[in-house]
């Protein structure tokens, strides 16, 4: 398992380091332009899981890397679990980096060469706990979405998955609307959940993270099953 994890991580480490710099710069510009470090940490946490997915899965079709990796003394189960672990760990590291950057910008806002109103807006959001929860919710939501995407990417390749999965997700929108019309009480439930989250941010963040991890683990089990049947 360790060998599978390290082989994949070391192969992509240069791209990952370059991507980290780009993500940080984009998130910093976004947060400062929107005058909100909450938006900064939420944005970098939400966009990272998919970007990590693309980074790792893109290597599968490059120079026969997927076939070569399959010849190593590593089981397919270990290959799949290492992919999930790399995507999740990289996303968590970027979340922590975004949180630290948000805290730094908010804490040093009064010293930055910005307009007075912008400095006041940024410094008013200096709340490490709130920033952590905002980032955690963004990370959890997109991790759950990535969990739906990964089994397709591993089984059919990134290119085919990018054509199929978005179509399926778009088709879910009218289905969801139809279900909401069929069960009007569902809207009330969502409103109540939203109110509860506003009043219980810490518990809500923890619940989001726990639910995302459950979905992610279930997706990993499905991916192991489908990847074993893939011909390389």
Residue 25: per-residue pLDDT: 81
CA 57 – CA 48 distance, rounded (Å): 14
Residue 214: per-residue pLDDT: 94
CA 175 – CA 164 distance, rounded (Å): 17
> Could you report the per-residue pLDDT of 113-157, keeping only the tens digit for each?
777 777 777 777 778 888 888 888 889 988 988 898 888 888 887
**pLDDT band, residue 220 (cuts 50/70/90):** very high
Residue 31: per-residue pLDDT: 75
Percent of the chain scored above 70 by pLDDT? 71
> Could you report the per-residue pLDDT of 171-209, keeping only the tens digit for each?
666 666 666 666 656 556 656 766 666 667 778 778 888
- Higher-pLDDT residue of 106 and 84 is 84
Q: Which of 25-39, 55-69, 72-86, 217-231 has the lowest mean pLDDT?
A: 55-69
């Amino acid at each position: 398992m360790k060998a599978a994890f390290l082989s994949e991580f070391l192969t992509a480490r240069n791209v990952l380091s370059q991507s980290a710099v780009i993500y940080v710069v984009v998130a910093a510009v976004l947060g400062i332009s929107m005058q909100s470090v909450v938006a900064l940490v939420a944005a970098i946490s939400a966009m990272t899981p998919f970007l990590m997915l693309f980074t790792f899965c893109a290597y599968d079709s490059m120079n026969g890397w997927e076939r070569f990796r399959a010849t190593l003394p590593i089981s397919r189960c270990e290959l799949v679990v290492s992919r999930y672990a790399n995507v999740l760990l990289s996303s968590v590291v970027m979340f922590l980096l975004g949180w630290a950057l948000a805290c730094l910008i908010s804490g040093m806002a009064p010293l930055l060469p910005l307009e007075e109103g912008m400095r006041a807006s940024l410094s008013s959001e200096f709340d490490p706990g709130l920033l952590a929860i905002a980032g955690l919710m963004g990370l959890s939501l997109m991790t759950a979405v990535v969990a739906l995407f990964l089994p397709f990417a591993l089984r059919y390749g990134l290119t085919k998955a990018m054509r199929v999965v978005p179509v399926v997700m778009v088709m879910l929108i009218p289905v969801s609307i139809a279900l909401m019309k069929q069960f009007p009480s569902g809207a009330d439930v969502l409103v109540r959940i939203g109110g509860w989250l506003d009043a219980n941010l810490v518990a809500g963040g923890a619940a989001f993270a726990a639910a995302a991890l459950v979905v992610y683990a279930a997706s990993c089990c499905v991916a192991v099953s489908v990847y074993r049947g893939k011909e390389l």
